[in-house]
Each structure stands twice: as structure tokens, then as C-alpha cells.
Structure 1
Amino acid sequence: MANPLFSQPSIVREDRPDGSILLRSTEPLSGYPPTVMHTFAQWATTDPDHVLVAERDGEGGWREVTYGEALAATRSIGQALLDMGLGPHRPLLMLSGNGVAHMLTAMGALGVGIPIAPTSVAYSLQSQDHARIKQIAELITPGAVFADDGSAFSKAIGALGDMPRIVAAGEGDRTLDELRAIEPTEAVDAAFAALTHDSLAKIQFTSGSTGSPKGVQVTHGMWSANQQMMREVWPFLSQERPVIVDWLPWSHTFGGNHNVGMVLVNGGTLYIDGGRPAPGLFDTTLRNVAEHPPTIYFNVPAGFAQLIPTLENDAEFAATFFSRLRLVFNAAAALPPALRQRMRAVAETTTGHPVAITGSWGLTETAPAVTNAHYDFDESGNIGVPIPGAEVKLAPAGDAYEIRARGPMVTPGYFARPDLTKEAFDEEGYYKTGDAVVPADPDDPNRGLLFRGRLAEDFKLDTGTFVRVGAVRTALLSSCPLLADAVITGESASEVCALAWTNAAEISGLLGREATVEDEVVVDPDLSGHIAKALADHNGRAGTAGQIRRLLLMARPADLDSGEITDKGYVNQRKVREVRAHLVDRLYAPTDGDAAVITSGDRP
């Protein structure tokens, strides 16, 4: 039976003589405004008292900003930025994490045609040399820099040299309160009227692990088009204003474009979540969603791995969480089947009916959604079908296909890097993503595509056997819910092994205590026995290239600043193998007394 939340997919497939496949929706993309700021302004005019955004105040309550208050603030901020000489060619560099001050400042710039460059907080607060921040500033030559706390970001700001500093608090040249006190003039209206689909909205930097950051140009039209695409596959957005509780960083496309844009375009409310799926922080997320149950819940697999045990063990919390939830949305990496099944089970137990669990696929370069699973599915890694307006080419790549994208949501290229831009597109103008997929059903394009990981992460064993890292990783995590994530090893070796992290919430529930740690690894016979059994079960179902011979549990999670993991939770497989090469060596040269190395024969 069709899910009433979704429009039903209608996909046409064209097979070409060269082996490539073209996919597109037969549903046309409806018209959309030049910018998401146009839709926001309409909401602010028709319902100024509706809450747009809220964050925790210093006393544990919520500081709320309405649409009307936000419109007034952003007009004043826009005027002040224009007065400071910022404009289309002098962007605003933004160093801070998610917050009301960040959002109002960004919207003030966007509303008068000043591009913003939101950067990862790790570049400022975790880096010691601030090399990436300096590289970014050299590339884009910003007219000013914003930080919500000038004192906390003082070292990063200082690394930028003599540049006007705007702060919400702490040390700076101008405070946000000063900017909000400026009286807007006709210059604000003129700048807003001059915005077009092609106007540059953001310069967003990809989270690559090596080399200089690449600045993706995100135009206003890309962002606006992508939100209209989502409205067409999720028609309930036009019937019910969304409530979102979200931690995903605005320096990345999932949180900053997909989720913030969905709030602005659909007149919703965003509660900024100060938590995240990290040690000591997830309790904050649980508290926030309990106080403001969402209608759509967004997270990454690591977040769901911590959320689901709480839902299963706390019926009162589960009842609150599901009280007005329309759907659960996963991105960044495939949600392991076991987690998906558990989420479905606890949702149905709590509500008495199924709750949609869906996903999507896209990149910073596509603002971000290209495909969406707006239908019921069971296959792990199903990323959906092309949404209206998006054209997809599947280019043969071994036993899979590279997915390529074309449409109004695709970037015109990389800022000030025509060389990278030229390399990024094929001869027909499709963006080459480097991601591998296969059709879920070769005979029915409406069943979507299955994600097979990054082509650059796959490798061959010394036997010549090709290993699809994404598929092996997902299968392992599904077999062993005790694992939060895993890195697959074996390039140029004779067999596949894995480095992994445990899920603390699952471990405490199983053992009634924390696992035993020695140096960099977990050495716990009780835990090893459980994981060995799960590893044996995995190997019993896997093919030769998917069987994992040995596994090592790492005590230290992936590190953001070293490039092992992105802000949104995607583990860079190659970077982890590089940084932790000594642990990879330990996997392939285990000593007889190495109790930390787990094999499927270690079952109790």
C-alpha cells in the first residue's frame, strides 16, 4: 500500500549502448522562487509570531526568535554588512557552530546578496596551526569574519590577520547587537530585489582529509530548487509546518542546506540541539527531543545507534519521541539493517502503527538531495530514486556504477578553481560524484538504487579479489549492533579484517559496566566473546570478499581534526587506515598472546 506521506515515484530508465543508464522522474519540477529568503520573508509577513528558531539559554530554558523578529534583525544586519563594504565579491567568513546569532547573521548576509562561507568549528577550535582557516581566507578574500564568541575563537581570528571581526559576545570590532540596531534603508530592498537564481549564496568547503579545502559554490537557485524538489516528494510539508530538533553542523550541506532550508521554506521551527552522538553529549539530545518532540527526526547512523537503546528501554521517552513524528530520516551513511529493524519495531510497539524510516543521497555539490526513498523499502543502503528535476547517469564501474548528477541543484563549480571544476564534470555536464551504486531491481527503476560506498575507498586483496568496502561495512554493523562503526582493511593483503568502535549505549546494557581498555584498544573477554559470535554469524552469510577474519576494537573514536571523520559522522576509511597504520599492522601480524584481536573462533 502506498505511504500517504509520500508522492509515489515515477521513474523512466534509458539504457545506452556504452552500458550507462539514465534515470529521471516523469514528474516535472514546479516553479520555485529565486532564493529561500523569499519564502522566509513571506512566512514572516503572514505569520510573524510563529517561532522560527530556538536555542538553550544560560539557565536551561529556551531562547526563541519568531519569524517577525528574525526578519527585522536580518534586514538590519544586512544593512550593516553593506555599510561595511561586504558584497557579492566580499563574502562573510563564519567560524562558529550552530546558534541563533549564527543563523541571524547568515540570513542577514544572504538577504542582501553577500555570500557566506560557514566553516567547520574544528578548523578553529581543534586545530593548532589554523592552516585550513588561513587557506580558506586566502582563497575567498572575505570582507569580515563572524564568530559567536570572539574570545573562544580569538586564536583562529588572530590567524587571519587584520580583518573586521563581528561577534555576538567577547572580543571583536563590531557586536551583533550593534548591527541589529542599524536602521535598514532602501539599499537592503534593492539588494534583495537584485537576487537571482544564479546569485552566489554560500561557499561550502568539503571535508576532505588531505590537501587544501575545496570551496563548493552553492547558488541561491540551487538551494531553492532543491527545497522545491523535496516538497514534491514529501507533500506533507505543505500541509504541516515541520518541527525539527537538530545538531547537524551548518558548515555541512545536510544540516546547513537540507534541514535549515526545510525550516525556512516550509515555515517550520528549528530547535538547535547542543548535543550530538559523542561521549557525554548525547544526553543533551535526549533531553531536547523530549521537551520538543520533532515531526521529522534527522540523524546519522551513529546517532541512531545511541538513540534506539534508549527508545527500547524507556517507554515514557519513546511515547514522547513518537508523539508527533511523521518520519525518521537517515543520511551520511547507510543505516545498518539491524538498527533499522529495531527502530521500526520500537516505533510500532510505541504507536501501534508503522513510522516511516527513509533516507536520501546527495553531496555538498548538489545542495544536497539528488535521490530520495519516498516509498517503503527493506534493502539496506537504499538511497531512493531521482527526485523531480534531477537527472542521474549511472556510469559502469566494475560490478557497480558511478552515480552522476545533473539538474538545477548542481553546483556551477568550485570557487576560484576552474581546474577542479573542469575535472568534476563529464562531457554531458553530469557531476561525477565518485559514489558507487547498483539498481535495487534491474527490472523496476521505481525500487531505487543501493549505495555501495565511495569508489576511492574500495580495494583489491593480493589475490585480485575486489572488496566493496561500503557493503562489507554495512553488513558487519548489521550483524553486530555492539559496534558503532567500522573501518575495513585488507588492501594488498590476503584477507579482509576490520578496526571498529563499540557503541557505549549497547555495551553498558549488555555488560552492566564499561568495557575494559588497555592502551589504545579494548581487551575484554566477555565483550570479545559476544563480538566473535556476531563475527561468525556475519561470515556465515558473507561471500569470500566480505568475510572478516580478525577484528580489533579501538578505544579512541575517529578524530575530527585529523580528517578521520566528518562533522556529520561519515568515517573516512582510508584516512583511518593511514592514521592508525600500527593497528592495521597488529591485525595482520597478531601474536599468540594478543587478547585484543578477535576472530570468529573466539566464541565462548
Structure 2
Amino acid sequence: MLHAPEVRQCGPSEVELIRRDDGVMIVRSPHPLPPYHRSMTDRLDHWAAVAPDRPYLAERDGTGAWRHVTYAEARSLARSIAQALIDRGLSPERPLAILSGNSIDHALLGLGAMIAGVPYASVSPPYSLASTDFTKLRAILGVLTPGLVFASSGAMFARAITATVPEDVELVVSEDALIDRPTTPISALLNTPAGPAVDAAHAAVGPDTIAKLLFTSGSTGDPKGVINTQLMLTSNQAMINTAFPTLAEEPLVLVDWLPWSHTYGANHNFGVTLMNGGTLHIDQGKPLPGLIEETVRNLREIAPTAYYNVPKGFEMLLPYLRDDADLRRTFFSRLKFLLYAGAALSTVVRQEYERMAIAERGERIPMFTSLGSTETAPSALSVTAKACAPGVVGIPNVGVEMKLVPSAGKLEARIKSPSITPGYWRRPDLTATAFDEEGFYRLGDAVRFADPDDPEKGFLFDGRIAEDFKLATGTWVSVGPLRARAIERLAPLIRDLVIAGHDRDDVTALLIPDLAACRSAFRADAAVSDAAILGSAVLRAQIAERLAALNAGVHGSSFRIERALVLTEPPSIDAGEVTDKGSINQRAVIARRAALVEELYADELSDRVILPAGHGEHA
């Protein structure tokens, strides 16, 4: 049971469990979904009227100072943009595409599009900036057929624009106009006087109006445009506020880097800010070497009331919090909870945050997680006072039904709720296969009961159904849990790994190293090459010892990793091996690195293959 401060922050714990004769189960909350709003931009109107001078959005300007936009200013500017989009004839057939990352201009364009009833798509910046062939960006713009494309900097995005944006599509930039084609400054849209057409367009927005298109990162497939309606967004915000009632108690203060090209940042964090009249400080840092320092700088100045991140973000922030008393004091000073999503968080990291919170505040600050997807807008399951053990992703939100279907020894989760997408943009084939015969969305995740005798204790994530495979013995390998265990054991030297073994006798792994961590661990100076570090006997010995510890006391071939190989070439975004948010596409890596997989199963093992310590000369 959570301590008293945490109980107040959680929604209802009760669930109904219906068991069918065929083994299928339905799990849902007995509590009704509260009323929700017509559109997200109704909340902009509300806060502009109720708290017009409250800061809504903030970002650092060229001098490093914070630039703020109030709710009243945001509403006025968004309405000007709405008029500009209406004047240009933008529509669902000619939507708005945004190529660059989070910024105030980006936010205002999205709000203006929603007021006008024009769908918009925030395309992940790595598709423009990290790609060499722009294959994914070209495919996305091809299916979108945008009527207008925005980029924060014409110079920064020039190569991608030249390669993928048709000449007849208008380009809008915040700065650095392109030299070789016409470019419209964002100021032209911001200075457009809003007229009666804006009011008429906004009045016509309804629950089924498409708010945005979010292209999934393709962790198990190619990106596809997920339709996000106003109904999805507003009903999901009602679910989130029910799950975390303290969100509505006082204005939120967020410091957030999570990209608006993905549902966590775009719908959850941007949404809870607008829903509850909060202030969102746009963090240009990221959980990467050389960029995490900007996040630290921002958190030294701004004390968040809630903090959302991915596990890697919490991990990279940890040493700074541990070593900097001022940062630690500010960070925890008014923090109500932390929430991670997207992957598993190690027990060590969780315990360290708990220890620091108790030292700073004299009480435990809860660290929550949840389960959902782009197609669920995103929240489907949330923790409660009862469903709160480490790793528990919660119970179905109010308004959500979860169908559990037995599948290869697991329970496949399927979801039905008002916040489920109606389908994929211009892909009726994918839409048809996304839902089962009862209209439940196939989430693709497996879950298991935290306590089979008490469903109110919630569910644990049990891996992605599509990633699991059988060994030659017919034994199923549950990739998600094994991968999570292995990453925790091999960290920080290994940041991710790919599990192999389909139709083989045992399980092996391709290891993706964390070069910065390896250099630090072995005190390697800049003169030592990456190849030398990755091929060193010291690293191999460390990995061998950790593999042995991973396998210790574990019986059953599906739970053990018998051989491993360190990748010297990082996963490629162009080849689909890694998504723009850093997730590894297991199947793509296995396919592209087939020769390395064969090396792991060769009769005579190469010197690159690592065995668990105590299991042969290659260890």
C-alpha cells in the first residue's frame, strides 16, 4: 500500500472481471467516465478567459532567457494562424505538416490548426535531420499530401525539404529562409487578422474531427499515420485526470523535452498542461551526452510540480541530482509525482529517486508508470493506490475495457474506449486488421496479473506479442521480460540488445553498447578508438561475468542467454533498425544482421562471440 501522500494522488482502485467460457476475460472499472470537453481548444478558450495572464508556454530565446506566452496571447495568435490556414484552403486532404521539434511556434501552429478543424502532423525531426536518404519522411509526406509545411529553420531542414517537399507546397519557417525557393515567415501567419471564418470553423469542430495525425515510430513495423480525433484527446484527458486527481488541484508546472511527434509528449504532456491550465517549459535538452546538460540547466531554474520522462531520461539525470545539492533541492521542492513510460525502469534507479526524495522532503514521492500506445491517445491503464507495486502498469482507466485473450501461454491485451483511434490515415488495410471482431483494438502487448487472486492489484507488462518466438524445442521465448532482465544486468555498458533464437536450440543476443559508459568505466581517453574499446578483453570479460550472473539459478532454455556478440556498427534509422525515439526494431536488426546471428550459432565460434563466464574459452 502506498503512503498517505500517494493515496490522494490516485484514482479509484475497483475493477470488474468477467470470465468467459473460452478463457477470454474482460477487465474494466465500475466507475463511469466523467464528462469531457468538445475539443482541446475549448480549454484554450477557457483558460484565456479565466487566467488570461498566466504563462502557458515558455522557451529559451537566443539570449538564454525564458520567453513566455500567456493563455490570452496563445489564443489570439492561434486564432490568427487558424485564419491563415483557412485562407490557404487547408483541409483533411491538404493538412499541415510540421518537420521540426518542440517550440512555441510549433505549439501555436498545432492549436491554430485545431481551431480551424485542419489536421496536422508533427513529423519526427530525425526523419529530416538524422536520415541520409529521407525514405521515411518521403513516405510520410506522400501519404499526408500536405498543403503547408513548417520548419523552425529553413537552413537546418533545407536538405530534407529539397528532397521531399513538392515545389507547389508552401513552406513556412521561423528563421533562415531558403535561398532557392519561396519561403513564408511565420510572422505572416501570426499577423493575420482573425475574422468570422475562424469562429465558424471552430464551431464546426466536433468529437469526430481529426485533430492530428501521429506517425508511429515503427518499433515492430513501418511508420503509419494514426488518426487522433478530438474525442480521443478530450476523453483521454478525462481519464488521466480521474487517475491522477491532483493534476487539477493547482496549475501544473512542467519542464518537458518529450517530442510532440510522439503521443507521450504530444497528447499526454501537452494535453495535461492545456487541460489543467498549467505552464509548459519547453526543454531543448535530451537524455543524450552533450544534451542532458540543457535539461539539468532548466531544472536548476524551474521546479516542476510533476515530472514525466522515459527511463533513459531518469537514468541520465540521476548522477546530476546525486552530485548537485541545489539541483536536487529545486527538483524535489514541489514535486508531487514522477511518471515514466515507454520502457522498464530499473529497480536501482527507482530506489535512488525514492532515497533522494525522502532525504529532501522527508517523504516518498511516488514514481508511477502506465500502459498505452499512440492508438489509445495514449493512456489505457493507470496505477492506483492498490495497483502500485514496482513494474505494475495499473488497471484499466475509467471508460476503458480491456479484453485479455489467451495467446501462446500469455494474455494478449485488447482495448476498447472512446479514446481509441478510428484507424490509420489512408490505410484501410491496416485499420481492418487493427481491431478484432468485437471492435477491440489489438494493442500488441501481453500483460499478466500482478496477483492472479486479486485483479485490483493491477497488471504487469509481459512483452510484445510480435517479438516472441519459439525455440526448436517448441518452447516459447518471451522476449520483453528477458530483454528487460538482461539490460538491467548488463547496464550501463550495454544500453539495449536484440534477442535471437527462432527455431534454434537456445537463446543468444546482439548487444548494443553504450560507448560513453564503456569509455567511462574503463577510463579510456580520446586517443583510444571506439573499435578498440568494443573489442577489448576487459569489456568481453565484464559482459561474460554479467551474462553468468543473469543465468545463475535460472532453469529453462527460454530464460537464459547462452552467447552474445557486441555490435560495432550502431543500429540504422534508415534501415529501420532503430526508431526516431531510440526504440530498437528487433525483427529489423535480426534480418539486417543475419550474418552475425549465424556467427552466434556457428559450430566453431569466432573470437567475437562472448560466452557466460565459466562456459568455455570464449568467455
Are positions 1:353 and 2:357 aligned together? no
Deviation at 1:95, TM superposition (A): 1.2
Q: 1:506 to 1:241 in 2, by over 3 A?
A: farther
1:99: which partner in 2?
103
Which residue in 2 is equivalent to 1:78? 82
1:499 to 488, 505, 510: 510
CA-CA distance at 1:458 after TM superposition: 0.9
C-alpha distance 595-143 of structure 1, shift in aligned 2 (>3 A): closer
Other-structure match for 1:571: 584
Asked if 1:160 corresponds to 2:165, the answer is: yes
| CA displacement at 1:398 relative to structure 2 | 1.4
The residue number in structure 2 matching 1:325 is 335
Map 1:301-450 to 2 at 5 A.
Answer: 301-375=311-385, 381-450=391-460
Residue 102 of structure 1 and its aligned partner are, at CA, apart by 0.9
Q: 1:245 to 1:566 in 2, by over 3 A?
A: farther
Aligned to 1:117: 121
Kept in 1, the 8 Å contact 2:507–2:560? The answer is yes
Residues 240-249 or 581-590, more deviating: 581-590
**Residues 542, 211 of structure 1: CA spacing in aligned structure 2 closer, same or farther, 3 A cutoff?**
closer
Q: Secondary structure at the match of 1:492?
A: coil
The runs of 5 or more residues in structure 1 that have no matched partner are none
Q: Which residue of 1 aligns with 2:226?
A: 216
Contact 1:92 1:109 in 2 (8 A): yes
1:522 to 512, 534, 538: 534
Q: Counterparts of 1:556 and 1:326 in 2: how far apart (Å)?
A: 41
Q: Work out whether residues 96 and 119 of structure 2, in 8 Å CA contact, stay in contact via their aligned partners in 1.
A: yes
Counterpart CA distance in 2 for 1:70 and 1:410 is 28
- How far is the alpha carbon of 1:514 from its aligned partner? 6.5
Structure 1, residues 560-584: CA drift from partner, whole Å, max 9, x if none? 4432233333322222223333443
Residues 1:11 and 2:2 aligned together:
no
Question: 2:150 — aligned with what?
Answer: 146
Report the CA distance shift for 1:570/1:343 in structure 2 as closer, same or farther (over 3 A): farther
**More displaced, 109-118 or 85-94?**
85-94
Distance 2:85 2:145 in 1: 15
The alignment's TM-score, normalised by the length of structure 1, stands at 0.94
Task: Give the Cα separation in 2 of the matches to 1:289 and 1:222.
Answer: 31
Work out the CA distance in 2 between the residues paired with 1:138 and 1:508.
42
* SS of aligned partner of 1:437: strand
| TM-superposition CA deviations, 1:376-429 (whole Å, max 9, x none) | 667554211100111110111111111001010001111222222111111111
> Residue deviations 1:36-73, cap 9 Å, x none?
11112211221122111122222222222121211111
Q: Distance in 2 between matches of 1:115 and 1:218?
A: 9
Mean Cα displacement is larger for which, 307-316 or 229-238?
307-316
**C-alpha separation between the residues in 2 aligned to 1:380 and 1:537?**
22
Kindly state the Cα deviation for residue 211 of structure 1 after the two structures are TM-superposed: 7.1
Residue 568 of structure 1 aligns with an amino acid whose one-letter code is K
Q: Does 1:25 find its partner at 2:29? A: yes
Give the aligned residue type for 2:469.
F
- Report the equivalent of 1:226: 236
CA-CA distance at 1:592 after TM superposition: 6.8
Which residue in 1 is equivalent to 2:201?
A: 191
Tell me how far apart the structure 1 counterparts of residues 377 and 187 of structure 2 sit (CA, whole Å).
Answer: 31
- Cα distance per residue 1:179-217 (max 9 Å; x no partner): 111110011111111111111111111222687632111
CA contact (8 A) 1:300 1:568 kept: no
1:53 aligns with 2:57: yes
1:487 corresponds in structure 2 to 498
Aligned equivalent of 1:63: 67
Q: Percent identity?
A: 43
Question: Which whole-Å CA distance do the structure 2 matches of 1:95 and 1:424 have between them?
Answer: 27
Q: Which amino acid aligns with 2:554?
A: A
Task: Report if aligned partners of 1:439, 1:445 keep a CA contact under 8 Å in 2.
Answer: yes
The whole-number CA distance in structure 2 between the counterparts of 1:499 and 1:67 is 49
User: What is the alpha-carbon distance in structure 1 between the residues aligned to residue 521 and residue 554 of structure 2?
Assistant: 26
The question of whether the paired residues in 2 share the 8 Å contact of 1:333 and 1:570 is answered with no
Select between 428-437 and 296-305 the one with higher mean Cα deviation: 296-305
Partners of 1:302 and 1:485 within 8 A in 2: no
Structure 2 gap segments, 5+ residues each? none
| Counterpart code for 1:479 | R
The amino acid across from 1:102 in the alignment is: H
- Matching of residue 548 in structure 1 with residue 561 in structure 2: yes
- The CA deviation at 1:285 is 1.8
Is the CA contact (8 Å cut-off) linking 1:328 and 1:356 kept in structure 2?
yes
Distance of aligned partners of 1:585 and 1:93 in 2 relative to their CA distance in 1, 3 Å threshold: same
Q: Shift in Å at residue 436 of structure 1?
A: 1.2
**476-485 vs 588-597, greater mean Cα deviation:** 588-597
CA 1:517 to 1:338, structure 2 compared with 1: closer, same or farther past 3 Å? farther
SS of residue in 2 equivalent to 1:597: coil
Q: Is the CA contact 1:306–1:503 (under 8 Å) kept in the aligned structure 2? A: no
CA contact (8 A) 1:120 1:251 kept: yes
Per the alignment, do residues 518 and 194 of structure 1 end up closer, same or farther by CA in structure 2, a change over 3 Å counting?
Answer: closer
Q: Identify which range, 171-180 or 450-459, moves more after superposition.
A: 171-180
Bigger shift: 515-524 or 237-246? 515-524
3-state SS of paired residue (1:552) = strand
Partners of 2:431 and 2:153 lie apart in 1 by 35
- How far apart in 2 are the matches of 1:345 and 1:376? 22
Q: Which amino acid aligns with 2:186?
A: L
CA distance in 2, matches of 1:497, 1:320: 44
Quick check: 2:217–2:581 contact (8 Å CA) kept in 1? no
Structure 2 distance, partners of 1:364, 1:177, is 32
In structure 2, the residue corresponding to 1:599 is in which secondary structure?
coil
Tell me: CA distance 1:290–1:338, structure 2 relative to 1, closer, same or farther (3 Å): same
Tell me, in whole angstroms, the C-alpha distance in 2 between the residues paired with 1:405 and 1:600: 44
Partner AA of 2:156 in structure 1: A
Alignment CA distance shift 1:414-1:20 (3 Å): same
Q: Which moved more, 1:330-339 or 1:184-193?
A: 330-339
The 3-state SS of whatever aligns with 1:133 is helix
**Structure 2 length-normalised TM:** 0.91
371-380 or 82-91, larger mean C-alpha shift: 371-380
Task: State the partner residue of 1:289.
Answer: 299
**Counterparts of 2:322 and 2:518, CA distance in 1:** 15
Does the aligned pair in 2 maintain the 1:590–1:597 contact within 8 Å? Answer: no
**CA RMSD for the aligned pairs?**
2.5
Superposed displacement of residue 24, structure 1: 0.6
Give the whole-Å Cα distance in 2 for the aligned partners of 1:368 and 1:214. Answer: 16
Whole-angstrom CA distance in 2 between matches of 1:209 and 1:442:
30
